[in-house]
Amino acid sequence: MSPSTTAGAAEIQVKLTIEACPMRSRIVEDVAAAAVRAEGVTTAEVDLHVMSPEERAALKEQLRAGGGRTNPSRTRTP
């Protein structure tokens, strides 16, 4: 996501993982609503794009690496 602002108008670019994302409209609504809550922002325009196969592969790899985090619901305690 990359934001820019001009005189209170925010322009935000968001990349979806797939073209047919079922959350497409919800993402636009949520991002625009969050943007106008920022100081100095009065309007927001969300511009959607779609990740390339290479970008999706890099994201998958990053998420699989996990950064050392674990899911607490899957952690067993003795």
pLDDT value of residue 45: 95
Q: Which of 3, 60, 50, 55 is nearest to 31 (CA)?
A: 3
| Whole-prediction pTM | 0.69
Question: Can you tell me the mean pLDDT for 42-52?
Answer: 96
pLDDT(26) > 90? yes
Burial class of residue 71, CB neighbours in 10 A (0-12, 13-18, 19+):
exposed
Cβ atoms 2, 37 nearer than 8 A: no
Query: What is the domain partition of the chain in residue ranges?
Result: 2-66
pLDDT(14) > 80? yes
pLDDT digits (tens, 9 = 90+) for 52-75: 999 999 999 999 987 655 655 565
